[in-house]
Structure 1
Amino acid sequence: MSRITIKEVAKESGVSIATVSRVLNRKGYATEEVKQRVYTAVKKLNYQPNAVARSLKMEQTNTIGIVIPDISNPYFMKISRGIEDEVHSKGYNLIFGSGDESPDKERELLQVLYKKRVDALVLATSGANDELIRSIQASGTPVILVDRRLEEEDDSIDLIQEDNIRGAYMLTESLILQGHKRIGVIHGPSNVSTGSDRYAGYLQAMRHYQFPVEEELQFYGTFTQESGEKAARYFLQLSQRPTALLCFNNTMAYGLMLELVRRGCRLQEDFILASYGQVEAAELLWPDMISIRQSPYEMGRAAGRILCDRLLNGGTGPYKEIFKPIMEGTENNSQ
């Protein structure tokens, strides 16, 4: 069935196309009798305005593109919810895409959303797309980075992130002060700022307390559940196992916990676990887990406020906001 056009509405209501357009857009003069004829024709024909054509004419679509590494990760969905709670009442809707920690997929999503003429983009980048991101920003489409910076820092692009170096330092320090000598570390990818910053914070703490960084105790993951599962298998096969495991994101920590449980480990007895980011399952599996409590919803609200300022008030920025890490669950975990 073909789409009903404005031309057919004009014919049904007995007025010109221009008059129909004025009535539907509430611009210009039309008598009440003419308005009623147009609305009656619209209802009878079930006419739906062409949103794409209208957006081209208005030079806005009232949509915001959100590209995050993992759409199933509660952390990123809480960021998205915070954004939505700020912008929806202002008439904006969100379009989501999951980059899956793949720069190629992320690039494709960015290109599609840009071609769809979203009014702005919010991005937690998987890396390697700096040039494209800068070109989108330069074209006049605002870009807000959340959680992660570009590989080469750019102060002209809005940024909402956590103090990842400080948070990783705090986690590492808490394990050292509890007496752990062998700390196994599950790192994230070094090509994204969260991975490199958390690694840097870990190194700072180890050097400050004059602890050696043993390569045997390093596992390099990809911020995925599978990475956590592989890390568990790796540390379990060591002849001298670590007494504590330090995991640099919540998704890897979840995979780590699941695999340890599958293999019969006694949680809090065989290992102490510290996670950058809270794991919802920890309340059941590992209630005393040490973690950095993040603020994803608040970060999303901050990004939403920046979007509204840019899109509605002509704000120019650049804006930068850094959230402080908060430690949880450090009691009674000494070894």
Structure 2
Amino acid sequence: MAKATIKEVAAEAEVSTATVSRVLNDSGYVSDEIKERVMEAVAKLNYQPSAIARSLKQDKTFMIGVIVPDISNPYFMGISRGIEDVVGVEGFQLMFCSSDESPEKESRLLQLLQEKRVDAIVLATAGGNDEAIRSLAASGMPIVLVDRKLEDEAAGQTLDLVAEDNTEGASRLAAKLLEDGHVRIGVVNGPARVSTGRERYAGVLKAMKEFGLEPNPLVYNGAFTTEDGIRAVRKFLQADSRPTAIVSLNNRMSLGVLLEIVRSGWRIPDDIAVASFGEVEAGSLLKNPGLYYIDQHPYDMGIKAGDILLKRIRKEEPQLEPAVEIFRNEVNRIG
């Protein structure tokens, strides 16, 4: 069955197409009797307004693009839910994309969202696309960076940002291991092209210097995946001078660290201590885990990002300077 048109709805209700449009868009005066006739015709014909036509008329698609490294990661799911709970009230929907930590895929996704005429973009960048991001923002596209900054941080300061205090958080996390007497530390880090990788590693080195240690830990640089955590533990356990503690700077990598330690028959913290930047739900299943972790608040970050998005889309006030919200997170311990 062919879809009903606005002309057919108008004919059924015995009004003009302009009147139908006013009723559906709630714009302009229409009597209650006419409204009732139009809505009865809409229901009878099962009329569905054209989203494309509506977006062209209002110059909005009511779509917000969200690009994160991995939408299945609970951390990014939490951020996305916070955003959705704010912008959804205003009728906006989210279009989710995973870059898989690939700058090339991220570049294609940015182009795709621009072609889809989204009203704004939320981006946790994989790195390598600073020029394209700045160009897109300069064209008038509202862009809110979450979790990660641009590689060129000076240029990135012109964009809205919601992130964590990565350097200080990682420093406090590593300090917990150092306070417990560990001096041989293994670090599981992400790629240096990503600001979270650079800042969190800098935080670990900062803590080691403050404790009077040579800032030269055993390092495994991965790509924020569970497999990277597994590979890192295998590398550390085979080292001539095995670390007595591991600090993993991402929740997904931390899961891999825990899995491989348990698989190897080691106990936490008796045989090797672990600290994670981000809570790992599986950690609570370990017996006497003694696992340190940074308590993140992704949902709250999403709420803040959503507030900024609505302000930019509405253009309620001139953007004299970017909104910057940095979340401070504390260290907790399981067990």
Question: Normalized against structure 1, the TM-score is what?
Answer: 0.91
Q: How far apart, CA to CA, are the structure 2 residues paired with 1:255 and 1:228?
A: 4
CA distance 1:214–1:46, shift in 2 (3 Å): same
Q: How far apart, CA to CA, are the structure 2 residues paired with 1:35 and 1:275?
A: 58
2:324 is the counterpart of 1:320 = yes
2:263 is the counterpart of 1:266 = no
Instruction: For residue 212 of structure 1, report the CA deviation from its aligned partner.
Output: 2.6
Percent identity of paired positions between Structure 1 and Structure 2: 54
Instruction: For residue 132 of structure 1, report the CA deviation from its aligned partner.
Output: 1.8
Q: How far apart, CA to CA, are the structure 2 residues paired with 1:59 and 1:38?
A: 25
Native 8 Å contact 2:69 2:101 kept in 1: yes
SS in 2 for 1:48: coil
Segment drifting more, 187-196 vs 283-292:
283-292
Native 8 Å contact 2:73 2:252 kept in 1: yes
CA distance 1:54–1:243, shift in 2 (3 Å): same
Deviations 1:244-277 (CA, angstroms, capped at 9, x unpaired): 0111111100011112212222222211001111
Regions of 4+ moved over 4 Å: 29-34
Instruction: For residue 289 of structure 1, report the CA deviation from its aligned partner.
Output: 0.4
Instruction: For residue 136 of structure 1, report the CA deviation from its aligned partner.
Output: 2.0
Deviations 1:122-145 (CA, angstroms, capped at 9, x unpaired): 111111111221122122221111
Q: How far apart, CA to CA, are the structure 1 residues paired with 2:150 and 2:167?
A: 16
Deviations 1:192-234 (CA, angstroms, capped at 9, x unpaired): 100000111122222333323446x111111111100111111
Matches within 5 A, 1:133-172: 133-153=133-153, 154-172=156-174
Aligned counterpart in structure 1 of residue 300 of structure 2, from 284, 298, 301 = 298
SS in 2 for 1:329: strand
Deviations 1:284-319 (CA, angstroms, capped at 9, x unpaired): 126420111112122111112212222336232410
Instruction: For residue 16 of structure 1, report the CA deviation from its aligned partner.
Output: 3.4
Which AA in structure 2 matches 1:200? A
Q: How far apart, CA to CA, are the structure 1 residues paired with 2:74 and 2:268?
A: 23
Native 8 Å contact 2:66 2:122 kept in 1: yes
Instruction: For residue 82 of structure 1, report the CA deviation from its aligned partner.
Output: 1.6
2:285 is the counterpart of 1:284 = yes
Which residue of 1 is the match for residue 84 of structure 2?
Answer: 84
SS in 2 for 1:106: helix
Q: How far apart, CA to CA, are the structure 2 residues paired with 1:137 and 1:206?
A: 39
Which residue of 2 is the match for residue 179 of structure 1?
Answer: 181
SS in 1 for 2:261: helix
Native 8 Å contact 1:159 1:321 kept in 2: yes
Which AA in structure 2 matches 1:120? A
CA distance 1:139–1:236, shift in 2 (3 Å): same
Native 8 Å contact 1:64 1:92 kept in 2: yes
Which residue of 1 is the match for residue 239 of structure 2?
Answer: 238
Native 8 Å contact 2:208 2:215 kept in 1: yes
Which AA in structure 1 matches 2:232? A
Instruction: For residue 34 of structure 1, report the CA deviation from its aligned partner.
Output: 4.3
Listed as ranges, the gaps of 5+ residues in structure 1 are none
Which AA in structure 1 matches 2:109? L
Q: How far apart, CA to CA, are the structure 1 residues paired with 2:29 and 2:178?
A: 75
CA distance 1:33–1:177, shift in 2 (3 Å): closer
Question: Normalized against structure 2, the TM-score is what?
Answer: 0.91
Listed as ranges, the gaps of 5+ residues in structure 2 are none
Native 8 Å contact 1:174 1:330 kept in 2: no
Segment drifting more, 288-297 vs 27-36:
27-36
Instruction: For residue 159 of structure 1, report the CA deviation from its aligned partner.
Output: 0.7
Which AA in structure 2 matches 1:167? G
